[in-house]
Structure 1
């Protein structure tokens, strides 16, 4: 295909709003975040502290716990999402004409906002959650198992939502 200057200009004109939007909404805030992250505070009275903020962050137990939990979540969720997405896609392809209601039911976890899901799981399965008190009479072992069940329910909501996106 021959190079045509007129087509190249049209292409750049079509892509320019996207490039401008990426620059304004992604690159500029990212550079601002990098500048703020090496200062002691935001504003005019900020002093340069270098990588001290990052050292503090990497020593913070809550941050490390969040990183570990996210890593566990991804190590369990990602393979399950891929496998189950493939299986469900094959099933839906085979039975797509017969079970239209099934497709609607499978979309429910995706439609349900993640914040509402987390709130529901927290309300039910937290240490002092609504349903946990009911299980206290069974003993402490069941209580820790109940928290594990809460994590599994949250993981299943996450997986089912991601599966439907890939299906």
Structure 2
């Protein structure tokens, strides 16, 4: 019985983490807010923590802590699976290499430089900022893509 409830609650939390609670039913939104510790979502729906617990019922309330633990364990595993690093070129000021990593192995990346004919960056900070934004965007996309797989 717990496995069905846990799976349903985990799916709700994953969906909310990716897309928010805007289209969720009241019970789903409150469940997601409690699992993800989002008091702002509770306030948005006009509920206190106590009222939310009462609304989702004793069966789901009893499973909240375990589902929360499972959700954050899986988030941590996903964060460890994907990463990126930005390496400066010591001999070439204004140049950076972005390395996209999955399980510690390079799976992509790019060069960000203020030098050369096709260099789109006018200063070192712009090149670094673009490498950082590219790495973060890739990381968020990879981590988000994993969420649907986590409950299987």
TM-score tier by shorter-chain length is under 0.3
Question: In terms of Rg, which structure is larger?
Answer: 1
Larger helix proportion of the pair: 1
TM-score in terms of structure 1 length: 0.25
- Higher relative contact order at CA 8 Å, sep ≥6: structure 1 or structure 2? 1
Larger strand proportion of the pair: 2
TM-score in terms of structure 2 length: 0.26
